[in-house]
Chain A
């Protein structure tokens, strides 16, 4: 009985300690998420008549959204962006780097640091550096390299805007993929490889039959994490292209931003935001379930 009372008091104390974290999270993340759902059903705007007297409009914003070619375009661009940079680019190059660094490599820490460096760069710095590398026609570094090999130069951000955005985001995430996959590779017991070598397996077979299957859970988790975090990328794309030229690089987060803060249509922008929230939450729930978090 006395123990029970003690336990209860202790739990109450702990709740007090959690309160300073709980309150801002409720007010500044959970409530805005719910509020976004409400806003998406109004004609709220930053300027004009609707700003003074917002009305409830039901599903009108969603109907408009789903018939808006620019919205579908942003979903398509986001899809290409995620698959191209997170699923393919970062993963493949990160995996290759992790595999290569498993060998006895002279200067391995230097390579590791070099590959991780882009990860440390703030989004705006990354955008600025790459504009300098890509813009400027025949003056751009990447063009100079092409010209050096006798190829014609290209105005990269005008000709292949989406591909360039994918490449820059790939560049930014190789390091994290490498670190995570290195940890996964280290968890594969060395005896398994030893046994396979005894049986005369070649490196290709060992990779296909041992490394990949044993790494599958790590890879799956990595894909979920990077998909979710890539969907929310804003600053990098905005600093690099601001969604242009045309809407060729307008990922969903830039679309929401443009609708809400450039066109001032808050209610309509919120409908786009809700779509992004639902997709991210669904992926997040899949992530939490597959993680089987021990809490």
Chain B
């Protein structure tokens, strides 16, 4: 009796191995192609071992294309947005956790619902709002900065400027981050703050000395998810940026791919690998927080 069920269990285990191996190969195969193609001196569209290993494609990304610029733009906008998200969601999440006011529940429902709105559907009105804001700030800045107008607008413009992209990217990551921070602060006992209040600490002191140190793990999780999502975003830079100096990695990759007559797969593979690596690193850290975000947030 025991023999049969053991044999059967063994068969199921074997089946489990086969299934896992097949699914894993399906999942990893495109990455293998990309990694090999990025160092293959004779790139082909199909998966093969490199004829000889070369780093020319990587050199080309930085020497012939604007790889450095794209990478720097991506890093700057995404890190700025992530930083803003951490600060704003840290404060807001604390307020949402501690408040007992009437607005708390509607606000929490609202941020869950904001997460389900498709960003393509919001894009047109968003673009018009940003355009108005851009004209407004342009009117103010033009007399002030004179001949540097174009440069200043690339920094502070809402359309085709860093500031606009950063703010919109950050806002998009806020709902999940607020949720993560709210849930996180729910788990932090109030004793510490109450002790600080009894000691006569002001709100600012309480935030700096007590809450920020306590909140660091939560902020790390919120920041990681904000970074990953903003780093992978393609739609916003596609719509909001047009100057070549402002292009980010996803757009650089996409545009390079559209040059139909002269697609250089080695170059593209190297560029895509460069773009992929920070995402994978962030994801490997964020992985253990993944389940928690499901319970309250929406899949990102």
- Residues of A with Cβ closer than 8 Å to B? 10-11, 13-15, 17-18, 20-22, 24-25, 27-33, 35-36, 39, 93, 96-97, 99-101, 103-105, 110-111, 113-126, 128-133, 135-136, 139-141, 143-144, 171, 174-176, 179-180, 183, 203, 221, 225-226, 228-229, 231-232, 234-235, 238-239, 252-254, 256-257, 260-261, 266, 269-270, 272-274, 276-277, 280-281, 283-285, 287-288, 291, 293, 295
Contacts and interface: CB of A to CB of B under 8 A. Distances in A.
B101 A15 contact: yes
30 contacts: A10-B98, A13-B203, A14-B101, A17-B91, A25-B110, A25-B111, A25-B171, A29-B117, A35-B125, A103-B16, A111-B20, A130-B30, A132-B269, A140-B45, A141-B47, A171-B26, A179-B294, A180-B291, A203-B8, A203-B12, A221-B294, A229-B299, A232-B118, A254-B120, A257-B120, A257-B123, A276-B121, A284-B117, A287-B116, A295-B104
Contact of B268 (A10, A24, A128): A128
Given A39-B128, A120-B284, A228-B298, 8 more contacts: A30-B114, A97-B23, A103-B13, A141-B33, A180-B291, A203-B12, A239-B257, A273-B123
B215 to A, nearest CB: 12
B254 interface: yes
Nearest to A115: B27
Nearest to B167: A24
Interface in B270-297: 272, 275-276, 279-280, 282-284, 287, 290-291, 294, 296
B231 interface: yes
B129 A28 contact: yes
A112 B263 CA distance: 34
Interface of B: 8, 12-13, 15-17, 19-21, 23-24, 26-31, 33-34, 37, 44-47, 87-89, 91-92, 94-96, 98-101, 103-105, 107-126, 128-129, 167-168, 170-171, 174-175, 178, 203, 228, 231-235, 239, 250, 253-254, 257, 265, 268-269, 272, 275-276, 279-280, 282-284, 287, 290-291, 294, 296, 298-300
- Tell me if A's interface is mostly helix, strand, loop or mixed: helix
A29 B121 contact: no
Contact of A135 (B24, B45, B269, B299): B45
B240 to A, nearest CB: 12
Contacts of B296: 291, 293
B282 to A, nearest CB: 8
B7 to A, nearest CB: 13
A238 B113 contact: no
B113 A285 contact: yes
Contacts of B279: 120-122, 125
A128 B47 CA distance: 14
Contacts of A99: 16
Nearest to B97: A14
Contact of B117 (A132, A281, A287): A281
Contacts of A118: 27, 30
A235 B234 contact: yes
B253 A93 contact: no
Contacts of B280: 117, 120-121
Contacts of B27: 114-115, 117-118, 171, 174-175
